[in-house]
């Protein structure tokens, strides 16, 4: 009988225990489903539904006549599905498939970039099409790998206008920190140089999105909602592809290093802006091997340097128009002559003329036509350096032009305060002598030289140089503002005198720019041969414009360490003039 009571007590205790357990479970369920139900419903929904960004196709780039220069193509990347735990065997298999070292593959799996939500780990990017298809054929043996396509930049002519166009690459950490307020993400591809960088916001477009449903393993189940991306705006350049290509080929064929610029002085549109040597844009937009990077960075020709806007060189005799303008402003009679014995002397210091025995009696026209240094030595020394510097400022020397290509430098317009600060010396008469013919401490970029001659061609003003004409969106066209870059108070009479003298420099048999004679059209030009410490030969320059009576093109050709301006730069510029006229005749 006692045993029965014990069994009954145990049964009651068990029943109470079960009731308590179910009560606890019930209260917990009530708490989770009723009290906290809405919260956990939202959390569940967030885990189930993900937002995936869809990259916008980057805008295309065209030349001035609508020829496609830059577009997009399919790129390929190999991704590892992160939910599959990797081991030595998987690493060994991927290494065998791709040809990459096991250590590299393991690092990419552990630390490589991961796509959010889909848990796809990028192993390799920029696979070429042949390699991508080879791997695709074997993917059935590698269920943890995928080959994905993405939009990749394609430069149709590879090296054409490489410094103008620039290239794209993945945003860096420093760039992201600077640009994230503008809507950039850590996975964006952005412009790194040239137009690609300057107009990146216009080219980027607006990303789309899609809501996707995923399962417990974070695999995509289905797409719920999609908003298609808006493609970036297309850009139409002022650059003429044919003229640009012609001058790049000219520099290549003559084995020259330097720059060639053609600009419309009436609106600032740059028709060609060559910096040679060029470099491969497609290579820079893709994965660069250490060997390729070493080759290009150790190239003595410095192909990455944009000589047109960052190269700072002594301009030599093309600067004489500045000194001549300053002299006219100080009352120079252009017909008055001085005698050139072949040198100019101050104390024991002697500056020689390029012509042995001198040029005899010289006036302003002869000084420009034959590039008589002694004329400018003597009159520049008597006038002093201040009027030369003041006049050079009116022609934009020593400051940036504001071109819509990043990286421009300002050159150097020296004066006494500059010399005391940087050379720790006062200004000597010899410094003025050198400055008067574009030597000494003075440096200019080829673009600055072009803008100075735009002011000369327009007789007092120039428009800001630009390489982009307009943007074209899906339903709009936006032109680039053409504002005046500079307007001077130089007398029109001085411009008329210089214009006549520069025409004579081309048309007279003793003119240093006679290589530019062109049948049926008047060309005005000045050559220059600038001494420098880097090369055995001088830098070769020529700058001018045509038609001289109503200029539509200003040109500058600069050849680094190539020799005489008349013999090297002159024929190069003539080739550009002829090509421009040929292309114009076809319109």
According to the model, what pLDDT value does residue 65 have? Answer: 96
Based on the fold, state whether residues 136 and 245 are members of the same structural domain: no
- 538-564 tens-digit pLDDT: 999 999 999 999 999 999 999 999 999
Residue 395 covered by a domain: yes
Residue 221 covered by a domain: no
Residue 249 covered by a domain: yes
Report percent pLDDT > 70 for the chain.
87
d(Cα 220, Cα 59) in Å, to the nearest integer? 30
Residue 411 domain boundaries: 241-586
Take residue 112 and report the two structure tokens written for it.
Answer: 């490589």
According to the model, what pLDDT value does residue 219 have? Answer: 56
- 352-394 tens-digit pLDDT: 998 989 999 999 999 999 999 999 999 999 999 999 999 999 9
Confidence check: pLDDT of 223 > 80? no
Indicate the residue among 124, 153, 182 that finishes a domain.
Answer: 153
User: Total structural domains in the chain?
Assistant: 2
d(Cα 177, Cα 157) in Å, to the nearest integer? 33
- 34-59 tens-digit pLDDT: 665 555 455 444 455 666 667 788 99
Based on the fold, state whether residues 305 and 444 are members of the same structural domain: yes
Residue 317 covered by a domain: yes
475/197: higher pLDDT = 197
Take residue 567 and report the two structure tokens written for it.
Answer: 């013999």
- 278-333 tens-digit pLDDT: 999 998 887 777 788 888 888 889 999 999 999 999 999 999 999 999 999 999 99
Question: Could you tell me if 48 and 221 are in contact, meaning their C-beta atoms sit under 8 angstroms apart?
Answer: no
Based on the fold, state whether residues 249 and 378 are members of the same structural domain: yes
Read off the pTM.
0.84
Please tell me the total number of residues recorded for the chain in this structure: 587
Based on the fold, state whether residues 444 and 552 are members of the same structural domain: yes
Residue 194 covered by a domain: no
Take residue 511 and report the two structure tokens written for it.
Answer: 């003119």
Based on the fold, state whether residues 354 and 499 are members of the same structural domain: yes
According to the model, what pLDDT value does residue 520 have? Answer: 92
Based on the fold, state whether residues 109 and 255 are members of the same structural domain: no
Confidence check: pLDDT of 220 > 70? no
| Residue 557 β-bridge partners | 260, 542
- 440-450 tens-digit pLDDT: 999 999 999 99
Residue 139 covered by a domain: yes
Task: Report the candidate in 200, 202, 205, 241 with the shortest Cα–Cα distance to residue 66.
Answer: 241
Based on the fold, state whether residues 417 and 519 are members of the same structural domain: yes
Based on the fold, state whether residues 248 and 137 are members of the same structural domain: no
Based on the fold, state whether residues 314 and 461 are members of the same structural domain: yes
d(Cα 80, Cα 144) in Å, to the nearest integer? 6
Based on the fold, state whether residues 437 and 315 are members of the same structural domain: yes
Q: Which 8-state DSSP code applies to residue 239?
A: -
d(Cα 400, Cα 403) in Å, to the nearest integer? 8
Indicate the residue among 102, 120, 153 that finishes a domain.
Answer: 153
Distance of CA 73 to the CA centre of its chain: 21
Based on the fold, state whether residues 511 and 414 are members of the same structural domain: yes
Residue 7 covered by a domain: no
Write the CATH number for 475. Answer: 3.40.710.10
Q: Which of 30-39, 89-98, 311-320, 525-534 has the highest mean pLDDT?
A: 311-320
Indicate the residue among 153, 175, 191 that finishes a domain.
Answer: 153
Question: Under 8 Å CB-to-CB from 372, ≥6 apart: which residues?
Answer: 340, 353, 355, 359, 362, 366
**Segment 198-218 mean pLDDT:** 76
At residue 477 the predicted structure's pLDDT band, cuts being 50, 70 and 90, is confident
Residue 575 covered by a domain: yes
Residues 446-460 as b/e (b if ≥16 CB within 10 A, e otherwise) read: bbbbbbbbbbbbbbb
């Amino acid at each position: 009988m006692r045993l029965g009571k014990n069994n009954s007590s145990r049964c009651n205790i068990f029943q109470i225990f079960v009731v308590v357990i179910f009560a606890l479970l019930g209260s917990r369920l009530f708490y989770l489903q009723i009290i906290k139900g809405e919260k956990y419903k939202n959390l569940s929904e967030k885990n189930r539904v993900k937002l995936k960004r869809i990259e916008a196709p980057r805008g295309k780039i065209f030349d001035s006549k609508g020829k496609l220069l830059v577009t997009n193509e399919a790129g390929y990347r190999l991704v590892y599905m992160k939910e599959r735990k990797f081991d030595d065997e998987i690493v060994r298999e991927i290494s065998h498939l791709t040809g990459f070292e096991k250590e590299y593959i393991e690092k990419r799996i552990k630390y490589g970039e991961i796509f959010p939500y889909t848990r796809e780990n990028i192993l390799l990017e920029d696979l070429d099409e042949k390699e991508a298809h080879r791997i695709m054929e074997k993917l059935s043996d590698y269920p943890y790998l995928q080959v994905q396509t993405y939009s990749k930049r394609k430069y149709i002519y590879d090296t054409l206008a490489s410094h103008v166009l620039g290239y794209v690459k993945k945003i860096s950490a420093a760039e992201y920190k600077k640009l994230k307020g503008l809507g950039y993400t850590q996975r964006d591809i952005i412009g790194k140089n040239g137009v690609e960088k300057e107009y990146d916001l216009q080219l980027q477009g607006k990303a789309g999105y899609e809501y996707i449903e995923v399962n417990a393993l974070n695999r995509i189940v289905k797409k719920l909602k999609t908003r298609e991306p808006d493609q970036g705006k297309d850009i139409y350049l002022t650059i003429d592809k044919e003229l640009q290509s012609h001058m790049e080929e000219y520099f290549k064929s003559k084995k020259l290093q330097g720059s060639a610029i053609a600009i419309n002085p009436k609106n600032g549109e740059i028709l060609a802006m060559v910096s040679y040597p060029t470099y491969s844009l497609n290579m820079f937009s893709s994965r660069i091997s250490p060997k390729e990077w070493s080759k290009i960075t150790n190239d003595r020709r410095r192909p990455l340097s944009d000589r047109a806007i960052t190269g700072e060189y002594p301009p030599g005799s093309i600067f004489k128009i500045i000194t001549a303008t300053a002299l006219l402003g100080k009352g120079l009679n252009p017909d008055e002559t001085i005698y050139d014995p072949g040198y100019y002397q101050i104390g024991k210091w002697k500056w020689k003329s390029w012509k042995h025995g001198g040029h005899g009696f010289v006036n302003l026209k002869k000084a420009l036509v034959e590039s008589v240094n002694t004329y400018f030595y003597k009159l520049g020394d008597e006038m002093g350096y201040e009027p030369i510097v003041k006049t050079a400022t009116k022609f934009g020397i020593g400051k940036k032009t504001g071109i819509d290509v990043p990286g421009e430098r300002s050159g150097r317009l020296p004066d006494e305060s500059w010399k005391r600060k940087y050379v720790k010396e006062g200004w000597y008469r010899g410094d003025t002598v050198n400055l008067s013919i574009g030597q000494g401490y003075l440096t200019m970029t080829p673009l600055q030289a072009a803008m100075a001659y735009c002011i000369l061609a327009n007789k007092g003003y120039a428009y800001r140089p630009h390489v982009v004409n307009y943007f074209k969106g899906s339903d709009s066209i936006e032109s680039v503002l053409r504002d005046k870059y500079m307007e001077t108070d130089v007398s029109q009479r001085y411009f008329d005198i210089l214009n006549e003298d520069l025409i004579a420099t081309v048309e007279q048999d003793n003119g240093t720019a006679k290589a530019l004679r062109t049948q049926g059209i008047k060309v005005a030009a000045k050559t220059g041969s600038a001494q420098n410490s880097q090369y055995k030969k001088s830098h070769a320059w020529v700058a001018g414009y045509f038609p001289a009576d109503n200029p539509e093109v200003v040109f500058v050709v600069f050849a680094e360490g190539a020799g005489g301006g008349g013999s090297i730069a002159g024929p190069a510029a003539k080739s550009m003039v002829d090509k421009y006229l040929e292309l114009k005749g076809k319109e």
